[in-house]
């Protein structure tokens, strides 16, 4: 299906993904902090400082990646429920594409 802008009728329409973007950012940062702090806890007491640093960075990266995936999963259905979730790139008009066409729901 091709969605077009109800105002200028161009097909240059994008999904806004506001909740998904916010959820990915929040969950990504939270996951990175969680991953890094758990890596610090795991490596505590070890005398190798490079191992601690490497573990912290790796833990942060893994936690951040897991958080981003979780944020994307959480944000997608919220975006679907939000009003004006489509944006026309030609005229900047925000509209509710899902409710306009019953076939999309
Ligand atoms: Zn438009």
In contact, 26 and 64? CB cutoff 8 Å: no
Distance from residue 9's CA to the centre of ligand 1 (Å) = 6
In contact, 3 and 78? CB cutoff 8 Å: no
**Whole-model pTM?**
0.71
In contact, 73 and 26? CB cutoff 8 Å: no
- Residue 14: pLDDT above 70? yes
Q: CB within 5 A of ion ligand 1: which residues?
A: 5, 7-8, 88, 90-91, 93
Distance from residue 86's CA to the centre of ligand 1 (Å) = 10
Extents of the domains making up the chain: 1-16+84-105, 18-79
CB atoms within 10 A of CB 26: 15
**What's the rounded Cα separation, in Å, for the pair 13 and 89?**
6
- Residue 104: pLDDT above 50? no
In contact, 1 and 78? CB cutoff 8 Å: no
Distance from residue 69's CA to the centre of ligand 1 (Å) = 32
47-76 pLDDT, tens digit each: 788 888 999 999 999 999 999 999 999 999
Q: Please enumerate in sequence order all residues whose Cβ is within 8 A of that of 77, keeping only pairs 6 or more positions apart, or say none.
A: none
Distance from residue 8's CA to the centre of ligand 1 (Å) = 4
Identify any residues that bridge with 86 across adjacent strands, giving them in sequence order: 15, 95
Distance from residue 91's CA to the centre of ligand 1 (Å) = 4
- Residue 105: pLDDT above 50? no
| Bridging pattern class, strands 94-95 and 86-88 | antiparallel
């Amino acid at each position: 299906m091709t969605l077009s802008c109800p105002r200028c009728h161009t097909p240059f329409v994008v999904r806004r993904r506001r909740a998904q973007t916010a959820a990915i950012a929040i969950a990504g940062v939270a996951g990175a902090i969680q991953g890094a702090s758990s890596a610090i806890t795991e490596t505590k007491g070890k005398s190798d400082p490079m191992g601690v640093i490497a573990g912290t960075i790796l833990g942060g990266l893994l936690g951040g990646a897991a958080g981003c995936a979780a944020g994307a999963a959480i944000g997608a259905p919220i975006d679907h429920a939000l009003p004006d979730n489509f944006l026309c790139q030609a005229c900047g008009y925000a509209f509710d594409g899902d409710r306009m066409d019953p076939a999309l729901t």
